[in-house]
Amino acid sequence: MMIRLALPIYVELLTAVVAVGVIDLLWVSGLGEGAIAAVTVGTTVEFLAYGLFLAVPTGITVLVGRRDGHAPLGPVVRTGLLLWAVFSVAIAVPGVLLREPLAALFTDTPALTAGFFLVSLAGLPVYFAQTVVDGILKGLGNTRRPMRHALLCNALVIALDPLFIYGLDMGVQGAAAATVLARAITLAIALRSVARLNGRGLMAGEVIRTGLPMSGDFLARALVGMALVELVAGFGTAAVAGYGIGQKIMLAGVMVFYALRQAAMIRTARSETVRSPLLLGLGSGVAVAAVLNVVAVPVAGLFTGDPAVAVGFLRWMTLYLVPFGGLIAVGGVLQASGRGSRLLAATLAGFAVQLPLAYALSAWLGLTGVWLSMAAGAAVSLAGARAPRAGGPGPARGPAPRSTRTAAGPPSGR
């Protein structure tokens, strides 16, 4: 059941990453290393912005799962929409206004990066709205519809990227514009999925409290990711480009872990059994690392004529992916069972080790020192999280009559 629930989530996450990163990166690679670096930095900052918002869709998923068939879903939905509006203004507006100094922090081609920011950060409200809609559907146990939304968005980006980047001669800005437009079209279609959910009342505090540990975890990762980009930038634009390519390739495998985490979170919130998330995560880490080692050279070669940095990164990531897979899978149970603070504390402990090591080892071993610090941080985080008991404690639920479920929300392909 876990795999059946996780598979659509993986396809959704994978296609979302492809749409935001890999396709954009592939198309702009013809514009040179500066364009590759601009998209790498731009998508890293977008992940940071998403981390600031992640408490909202995560809290919505957990609370919808707990309330489905037991309490009206309308207050959760209305709260999600209100928080979406507040966070969208609070994040997107400053991001657009500060795009130039922000770009100058991370790259020696700030004009290209600032141009990407102008469009991508202005489009964040569309991205955030889609995550709210998909969060509601996942709470209802429906992971297939968010998958279809992601596939649609991905197909649109594939079609629009060459048109905007080269056909309209927009360059790097065209990559961001194509993604924002694709997301807007997808959102217009996705909104029909939750249009029937209504009700009165708001529960902003509960939504934020429930999702805050996951948001904090994601935000910490985004901030450390930005710090690593800045550190790698000290080795030159080619190093940033290679790191960006390696990261995008690795994300295709890492999405396996996040799919398992969301599946574990959904099942735990709905008081369904979750067996051995740690072993499943560790096993997934081994499998992902093996696959990435096999495909490293040919896939990295699709993006650049000099794939040495990207290939070296993927080789060393074997030491990182195994503990990271275990940590992420365990995190879903911790989050939905009210123990998300343990996950956040473990993440912060790992980064407290990783960042000093990254600066120290990079001075001695170069980029290899940065990669080794990532593995050390993941191992510390996994040790701090500790595996919860299978099907760990969750909110008490009882069976609900069919009539109650029908009143609470649409069946939505459960």
Nearest C-alpha neighbor of 15 from the set 7, 40, 125, 290:
7
Q: Give the pLDDT score at 318.
A: 92
From residue 200, give the alpha-carbon distance in Å to each of 76, 80, 137, 205, 298.
Answer: 9, 13, 19, 16, 55
Rounded Cα gap, residues 371 and 350, in angstroms: 14
Average pLDDT value for the chain: 80
Summarize the confidence of residues 137-151 as an average pLDDT.
85
pLDDT, residue 181, reads 92
Proportion of the chain above pLDDT 70, given as a percent: 85
For the stretch 279-323, pLDDT in tens is: 888 999 999 999 999 988 898 888 777 788 888 899 999 999 999
Nearest to 171 by CA among 18, 42, 39: 39
What distances in angstroms separate CA 222 from CA 30, 91, 227, one per listed residue?
Answer: 27, 15, 9
CB contact at 8 A, 331 and 260: no
- Which residues touch 256 (CB under 8 Å, ≥6 apart)? 10, 284, 287, 288, 325
Report the distance separating Cα 380 and Cα 347, nearest Å: 8
Question: What pLDDT, on a 0 to 100 scale, did the predictor assign at position 412?
Answer: 37
- Candidates 283, 302, 25, 252; CA nearest to 311 is 302
Q: At what angle do helices 318-336 and 367-385 cross, to 10 degrees?
A: 30
Which of 6-10, 57-61, 95-99, 287-291 tops mean pLDDT?
287-291
pLDDT band at 209 (very low <50, low <70, confident <90, very high): low
CA distance 47 to 246: 16
Tell me: pLDDT of 45 over 90: no
What are the residue ranges spanned by the domains of the chain? 2-391
Q: What is the pLDDT of residue 403?
A: 36
Over residues 352-410, the pLDDT tens digits come to 999 999 999 988 998 899 999 999 999 999 998 864 444 444 444 444 433 333 333 33
Helical spans, DSSP H, in 306-398: 308-316, 318-336, 340-365, 367-385
